[in-house]
Amino acid sequence: MATLALAIFNLANPSAIFVIFITSLWSTVINTALGVSSVPRDYLDVSKVLEMPRWRQLTKIILPASLDYIFTGLRISLGVAWLVIVAVEMLTGGVGIGFFVWDEWSRLNLSSVFLAVVLIGLTGLVLDWLLCKLQEAVTHRPVRS
């Protein structure tokens, strides 16, 4: 994927952003589609009986019923994006934690590599926790991790 992106954009930074976007997009899209398709048919039938316009069905029935699926997809996408960011930084070089890990690995400075890996894991954990808190604020339900 990175080679294809480099062939298309001819620059490292736009290619990196494209690869991160493409790899992390699909879990959110698939989970959102699953959430929308799993809305109980009775809810939609009641909205038709009440003659709700389509936009109101979308905002009052479909979106609230599928929010848990959407946030699950976002959490997976966030984890994938974080891993791909680190990997892309290793490939493109320059700056970032991925480049630092690669550079320290090349210098055989394993203590710095382990410290960076722990930092990467903790950052991913904090980002996931923040997304859980956002989900709780939006859905008004506790999140089971």
Rg value, the chain, Cα: 20
Q: Assess contact for 35 and 68: CB atoms under 8 A.
A: yes
In whole angstroms, give the CA distance from residue 62 to residue 120.
36
Whether 15 is covered by a domain: the verdict is: yes
Q: Assess contact for 15 and 6: CB atoms under 8 A.
A: yes
Res 92 pLDDT > 70: yes
Whether 145 is covered by a domain: the verdict is: no
How do residues 43-64 score in pLDDT, each as one tens digit?
999 999 999 999 999 999 999 9
Whether 72 is covered by a domain: the verdict is: yes
As a whole number, the mean pLDDT across the chain is: 91
Whether 82 is covered by a domain: the verdict is: yes
What pLDDT is recorded for position 6? 62
Shortest CA distance to 86 belongs to which of 3, 131, 132, 19?
19
Whether 144 is covered by a domain: the verdict is: no
What pLDDT is recorded for position 10? 73
Prediction pTM value: 0.85
Q: Assess contact for 24 and 32: CB atoms under 8 A.
A: no
- In total, how many domains does the chain have? 1
Note down the domain range covering 18: 2-139
